[in-house]
C-alpha cells in the first residue's frame, strides 16, 4: 500500500488553476462519472452531486473549466490505472512503488497532491476498480486528443516495465488501453519498444562491445526506425516524435502542467537517440 508517509515530500505547493479549483470544490462538479468518484474519494469530497446540470453548459472545445477538467481527469486516471496495473499480476513490487513515487517526484506535486495520488493508486488496486469505465471516460474527456492519450499510454508503460519485464497480465491490460483509445497493434508495439529501449538505455553501460551495440539498437527502436532506413526517413521520424512530445503543445491540449517534466525528459531521450544515430551513421 502507498501510505501518506511514502508519498510525503519536501516540495512547496505550487498554485495550479486546475488543482486549486478542484481542491476548493469550485469546479469539482464538472468532473463526474467514475473519475469524479475516484478524485472525490482521494480528496474526501462528493464531486458527483449536480454533475449532469453542470456538464450541460460545457461547449465543444475548451469551454468554461474544460481544460481544468481534462487536467484533473489525466491526473486521476494516471495514478488510479497505475495502481490497477501494479496489482494485475497478483503482487506489487518495491520497484513499482518506487516508480509511482518517482513520477510524483518528477511532477513536483505538493504535499496534498501527493497524498491524493497515493490514494488514487490505492483505489486502483481495489478488486472493484471500474477499469473499463475509467478508460471510456478518460477517452471522452480528452476528446480524441491523441497526443494526450499517447502520453497516458507511455506513462503506464513506464510503470509496467518498472521490474524490467512486462508480465502477461500487464501487457493484456495495456493492449486493452490501446484498443480503447483506438491505437493500432503496430502503434502499441512501437510505443512499447520506445519505452523498453528508453529504460534499457538508462540501465546499461558502455563497458562492452555488446552493450554498445545494444545501445545503438535502442536508439533506432526509440525513433521507431531501422538501420536500413534513409537519413530522410530517420529525420522525419525524429521530428514527428519531437512534435508529439512537445511539452508546451501537450499542456495546451490539457496535459497537467506538473507532467511537463516527464514530457521534457522524453524529448531529451529522443534527441539523444537521434544524436547517437547521426554519430554512428556520420550524418
Nearest 5°: the CA angle 119, 256, 69 is 80
pLDDT means over runs of 10, the chain (283 residues)? 40 49 53 85 59 36 67 91 90 82 79 89 94 95 86 90 84 96 90 78 61 75 87 91 83 75 80 88 80
Longest CA pairwise span in the chain (Å): 64
Which three three-digit cell numbers place residue 283?
550524418
Per the CB < 8 A criterion, the answer to whether 187 and 237 are in contact is: no
Q: Which residues have C-beta within 8 Å of that of residue 102, sequence separation ≥ 6?
A: none
Of 132, 103, 133, 130, whose CA–CA distance to 118 is shortest?
103
Per the CB < 8 A criterion, the answer to whether 256 and 192 are in contact is: no
Q: Hey, CA dihedral for 83, 89, 91, 97, is it positive or negative?
A: negative
Q: Which residues have C-beta within 8 Å of that of residue 185, sequence separation ≥ 6?
A: 175, 178
For residue 190, the model assigns a pLDDT of: 83
Q: What is the pTM of this model?
A: 0.75
Amino acid at each position: 500500500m502507498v501510505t501518506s508517509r511514502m508519498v510525503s515530500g519536501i516540495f512547496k505547493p505550487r498554485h495550479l488553476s486546475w488543482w486549486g479549483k478542484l481542491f476548493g470544490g469550485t469546479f469539482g462538479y464538472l468532473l463526474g462519472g467514475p473519475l469524479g468518484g475516484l478524485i472525490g474519494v482521494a480528496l474526501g469530497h462528493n464531486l458527483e452531486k449536480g454533475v449532469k446540470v453542470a456538464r450541460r453548459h460545457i461547449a465543444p472545445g475548451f469551454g468554461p473549466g474544460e481544460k481544468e477538467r481534462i487536467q484533473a481527469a489525466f491526473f486521476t486516471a494516471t495514478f488510479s490505472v497505475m495502481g490497477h496495473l501494479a496489482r494485475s499480476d497478483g503482487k506489487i513490487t518495491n520497484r513499482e512503488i518506487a516508480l509511482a513515487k518517482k513520477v510524483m517526484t518528477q511532477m513536483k506535486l505538493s504535499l496534498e497532491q501527493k497524498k491524493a495520488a497515493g490514494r488514487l493508486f490505492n483505489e486502483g488496486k481495489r478488486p472493484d476498480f471500474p477499469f473499463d469505465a475509467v478508460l471510456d471516460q478518460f477517452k471522452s474527456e480528452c476528446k480524441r486528443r491523441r497526443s494526450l492519450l499517447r502520453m497516458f499510454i507511455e506513462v503506464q508503460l513506464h510503470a509496467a516495465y518498472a521490474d524490467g519485464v512486462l508480465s502477461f497480465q500487464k501487457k493484456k491490460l495495456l493492449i486493452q488501453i490501446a484498443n480503447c483509445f483506438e491505437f493500432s497493434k503496430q502503434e502499441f508495439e512501437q510505443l512499447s519498444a520506445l519505452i523498453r529501449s528508453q529504460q534499457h538505455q538508462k540501465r546499461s553501460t558502455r563497458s562492452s562491445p555488446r552493450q554498445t551495440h545494444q545501445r545503438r539498437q535502442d536508439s533506432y527502436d526509440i525513433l521507431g526506425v531501422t538501420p536500413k532506413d534513409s537519413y530522410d526517413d530517420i529525420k522525419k521520424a525524429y521530428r514527428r516524435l519531437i512534435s508529439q512530445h512537445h511539452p508546451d503543445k501537450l499542456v495546451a491540449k490539457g496535459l497537467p502542467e506538473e507532467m511537463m517534466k516527464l514530457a521534457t525528459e522524453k524529448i531529451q531521450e529522443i534527441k539523444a537517440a537521434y544524436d547517437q544515430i547521426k554519430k554512428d551513421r556520420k550524418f
